[in-house]
Chain A
Amino acid sequence: MEQFFSSLLQLFEITHLAFLFGGTLLGLVVGILPGMGGTSGLALVLPFVFTLEPSYALAMMIGVLAPTTTSDTFPAVLMGIPGTSGSQATVMDGFPLSKKGMAARALSAAFSSSLLGGVFGAIILSVSIYYAIPIIMTFGFGEQFLLVVLALLMVGALTGDNFVKGITACCLGLIIGSIGTAPITGDLRYTFGTLYLLEGVPLVIVGLGLFAIPEIVGLLDGRGAIAKSLKNEKGWLIGIRDVFRHWFLVLRCSTLGCLVGALPGLGGTVVDWIAYSHLKQTVKDGSQLGNGDIRGVIAPEAANNAKEGGALIPTLLFGIPGSGNKVLLLGGFVLIGIEPGLDMVTTNLDLTYLMIWSLALANILGAGLCIAFASQISRVTLVPYYILAPVMICLIFFATFNVNRDWFDFIGLLTFGLIGITFKNFGWSRPALLIGFFLSTKVELLSYQTYAVYGLSFISRPVSIVLIILCLATIFLLLRQKFDVGYDSSVVKNKVQQICFVLFLSCLPITMIWSIAHLDYRANLYPTSLSVIAGILLTFILLIKVIDLRQVKALDNVMVRFARTHIFEHGNGFNNQLYYYASLLGYLGMNFIFGFPIASVIFINLFILFHDRKSFKVSAIITAVMILIFWFLSSLLTLQFPIGAIGLMIDMPWWLGGELTQ
């Protein structure tokens, strides 16, 4: 109890508050940018948090995470585009309200319920910490193994529109995660003799590549959506009053959000829909739902902020991430030397409480800022894509280079960027791939450890049985809800392209099996069996795709119809996005030649002027600000810019991209 309050005092130290506030601001911004969410935001700050004190770093990371689900309401309501995956349901009623001229009411209702939901989540988290020790002590290797496997199943089954593709994405993530030194024998797997892959692919690279790059490229492609301005909009007080009138709904949805968030692996992606369908089932007069009912905004927003508190429970206690952004939070823990588990509720309890307080405060701050500066913040959605995109790209490159200060990181970034773009367009689940990747080592080790300690008897332990039943039931119930009757594959044009992508994906398991076949069985058993499973799943997907393509009538039964749902995705923007992706390659090339600072100056100016020749003033100012930020950051943290070919040939000062030392 004493630590509970002492950590509150610690939080109110001015430096802590400053970091929390900085993180919150960043979180608000990435929340507003359509598609970018906590995952991209954390991936951007992660390469820099290591220089901070653990408690500052925590305040900052929580600051980034908490308000993304608050500010994502701006694009959802104003543009009809969800800012993060957690606000998809908000669009249902938020956008119609905005079209009716009640955007302010919808926004203020959303922010207030976000605030209440977020604080509720923090309270539930602090209560559950109180009971955590006995829970951790009953979760042995076997229970943890089941928890991880079921987390993977859930993510795979629920984050994509097609569950077979979801599970396959998980499986591929697990395979990618097994690259590097085999944890049991120390053999090298799939490293091709390079030093770079010795410790596997870096997490931040995978996170940035899978999440940030596809969204930026998508932003460039979807240039049509420009929001309206919020000037002189009235109704802020009505929205707040709405929330208090529906307080019981807020409470119910917050509880729901917490519970769903706490189920490992489920996390953010479905919670808003669950809250929305709960509203549908319980409401007396639902005729206005979908046409601008304020309750349709309140329910998902309360739930998606409350889930953060719930999702931190498995993250802190078992190191099992509840969602994509928790994967990166865990990566941050490693960087600042915090290991999830028993320590979090014993020796590091003060840090845990600090996180809880930060979570509550960041929610309050985020919602407060959103309400107070709504009309100013909403203007971020008005910034043209061609100005936003090059700035984001430079930031991503800078963050990428600081992961390992290695050129290979850029190759990794662009590879995963391409995979991310394809995944997004062709309806494959990116969170499933990321969580599979992150949990891979854990799955391998836990399966080995469980077998060494228990043999197969772990399944009959009481907690294991409860876990299995609980999770299978959830998957069954949610899958039934996910079956999309309205899906029609006949509008998809690039089916052949999508079939080719499956063939491309199958290269990974095949080459994996081939490259590790000579190793000791304890080093190759795990990746090989995963590869076989992935191979079977991919073959199945291919089969279903061909059935769909050829319209085979003879095979039309329930199973096939179920598997055919969203087997193809529209993916209309794919070719355009590839074109924008190519500009990233150009930027990388410039980095190779000129080094980072000069390349960034050229890139930002070229990009902006190419889209609008008259805005050279804007591009000059933006370039100057960016370069100043980079100089400030790198002299503060003694970071080295990527050195280009020119920098290697002639002596340049570090701020132009020369060598930092001497």
Chain B
Amino acid sequence: MHKIFALLIVAFFSISSTAYANVDLSGKTITWVVPFKEGGGTSRFARFIQPFLSKYLPGNPDIQIMHIPGGGAIKGSNYFQKNAKPDGTYLFGCSTSVIVNVATGNPLVEYNLSEYRPVLLLPQNTHWFTRTDLADGPHDLSKLKERDLVLYALKTPASADLFHIWVFDKLGIKGAKPIPGLSSSGGYQAFLRGEIHISSHGAANYKKKVKPEIEKGKVVDLMTLGIIGADGSVSRNPLAPDAPTFPEMYEKVNGEKLSGDDLEAFYSIGAAWSQASKSMLLPEGTPDEIVEAFRDAAKKMVDDPEFKEKATKALGPFPLIIGEEAGEIVKKAAVFSDNTKDQLNAALKKNRFTFRVQ
């Protein structure tokens, strides 16, 4: 009787895990390449995931994080492309700027990101807001649209901040003028001093720094980028449930739904900027069974009570994206269509930038 029972258990487990039954990483060391400096967002993301992933991968391998900063994240990414073996012992920590390097056609890029096999994505979301005296109540663009000069912060046109230019262009804010070289936190300070007119922040800083100012009545919400679902629907950001998403704002301003080329561009930008803000990928050509083993470990990790407890604080409020849909998102983010490139370049040209998406 016992034997039959035991056999049944074995059978059950072998069925439930056929896809990666022969994946065993015990005794191995996984190298997780992070193309940034220690202490940055991607490094913190990797460090947070590292112990949980090790716990749930078959064989509990050691995971060591290898930082290779430099060259605008290109150096470490190229290193990964050249050195990573597709046997589950190499992982890549990716972020929006790594994707933007590919999407904008940086000639120094040698990594083939769109063929990588994503395990999980960590989304992020952008909030835009303005000073109370520059809007008729929350979510109003009409006053800003009348101004001759609407200044906003822009790190460099070769970074993800490039998308701000496109967003303000599509919303018809004619006076919009980027001030280069301002990080989002430096930009926010200048915004509070009254030197620039629109500012933006990611979810964590929005909650910590912007919400108090909104409650004081000094700042009003404009909109959020919106959370893009697997089916392409865009829902509101739970942190600012009253604020319209970009597609809603687009419709309000232009009188027609976001569609066609503009919608396509929005999906690409949203994928790069929001959905794949941070991600963990396996190298090109990794066999399906290994990819499945990692995705399975990631799914188990998300259900871990300790992970649940700490994740919101460490990673932000948005749930991880795990599985096949992650692959689609990374492809969309890394390969911009010609239409999207033209749109971005037109916006760049309007703002007299020499940088072009290639």
Q: Report which A residues bind B (CB closer than 8 A).
A: 50-51, 54, 136-137, 140-141, 181, 183-187, 195-196, 198-199, 335-337, 339, 341-343, 346-347, 404-406, 441, 444-445, 448-449, 452-453, 520, 522-523, 638, 661-662
Contact = CB atoms under 8 A, between A and B. Distances in A.
A519 B39 CA distance: 34
B258 interface: no
Contact of A335 (B39, B156, B157, B196): B39
A184 B185 CA distance: 17
Given A184-B156, A185-B157, A335-B39, A405 B181 contact: no
A661 B31 contact: yes
Interface in B55-99: 64-72, 74-75, 89
Nearest to A338: B39
Contacts of A452: 151, 177, 179
B189 A662 contact: no
A662 B209 contact: no
Contacts of A196: 70-71
A323 to B, nearest CB: 23
Interface string B333-358: 00000000000000000000111000
B358 to A, nearest CB: 12
A490 to B, nearest CB: 49
Given A50-B39, A136-B189, A186-B355, A195 B180 contact: no
Contacts of B31: 661
B251 interface: no
Contacts of A448: 179-181
Contacts of B192: 137, 342
A221 to B, nearest CB: 35
A122 B179 CA distance: 37
B190 A140 contact: yes
B29 interface: yes
A201 B209 CA distance: 33
B154 to A, nearest CB: 9
A662 B83 CA distance: 12
Given A187-B354, A343-B185, A453-B179, 9 more contacts: A137-B192, A141-B195, A181-B156, A186-B157, A198-B70, A341-B185, A448-B179, A449-B182, A453-B151
Contacts of A523: 354
Nearest to A193: B108
A453 B195 contact: yes
Contacts of A50: 37-39, 67
A445 B185 contact: no
20 contacts: A50-B39, A140-B190, A181-B72, A181-B156, A181-B158, A184-B181, A185-B180, A185-B354, A195-B71, A198-B72, A199-B72, A341-B189, A406-B70, A449-B179, A449-B180, A452-B177, A452-B179, A520-B354, A661-B64, A662-B89
B3 interface: no
B208 interface: yes
A199 B71 CA distance: 6
What are the nearest 5 A-B pairs in CB distance?
A50-B38, A445-B181, A186-B158, A195-B71, A520-B354
Interface in B1-45: 29, 31, 37-40, 44
B355 A198 contact: no
Interface string B179-219: 11111011001101101100000000000110000000000
B172 to A, nearest CB: 21
A51 B186 CA distance: 25
Given A140-B195, A347-B208, A453-B179, A339 B66 contact: no
B193 A137 contact: yes
Contacts of A336: 39
A523 B186 CA distance: 21
Contacts of A187: 354-355
A578 B40 CA distance: 40
Contacts of A51: 38
A196 B72 CA distance: 10
A103 to B, nearest CB: 44
A54 B64 CA distance: 20
Contact of B64 (A137, A195, A638): A638
